[in-house]
Structure 1
Amino acid sequence: MSDKPTFWQTLMSVLASFLGVQSERNRQRDFRTGRPLHYILTGLLMAALFVIVVILLVRWALSLAGA
């Protein structure tokens, strides 16, 4: 398969790499046919989203605790 990875394949590859469970076949596909910029931007977006979710969860937990 020499097609470029789709948006969803790129997203799933980034999520799998966040968890450290990327398959060798997908890793090879990403390095062979993917564009690095797509993975970098997706990774930065996912990292920012993760930080925002953690902040919101902490604020919610603190409000429940009455702090």
Structure 2
Amino acid sequence: MSSMAAASAKKPSFWRTVKAVAWSFVGLRARGDYEEDVKNLNPLHIIVVGLIAVVVFVAVLVLLAKWMVAR
């Protein structure tokens, strides 16, 4: 049973992908964690979350710039 619990813990999930992409944006990712992500995460999820993160990042920068100029 313990092998089944370990296998289910390694199952790719959307939340795990979000965390991996967030750490990648910051640039703080341990090599072991990176290698584990490569083995366990769905590449399609990584692309989707990465694109969403880029859009949110750019939107925040634009809103921040507009707010600073308006002052």
1:38 paired to 2:67: no
Q: RMSD of the alignment, in Å?
A: 1.4
Please state whether the residue corresponding to 1:12 is helix, strand or coil: helix
TM-score, with normalisation over the residues of structure 1?
0.83
Please, which runs of 5 or more residues in structure 2 have no aligned partner? 1-5
In 2, Cα distance between equivalents of 1:5 and 1:58 = 37
State the Cα deviation string for residues 12-42 of structure 1 (Å, max 9, x = none): 1101111111122221221111111100110
Please, which runs of 5 or more residues in structure 1 have no aligned partner? none
Instruction: State the number of aligned residues.
Output: 64
1:29 paired to 2:36: yes
> Which moved further from structure 2: 23-32 or 2-11?
2-11
% same residue: 34
In 1, Cα distance between equivalents of 2:66 and 2:44 = 33
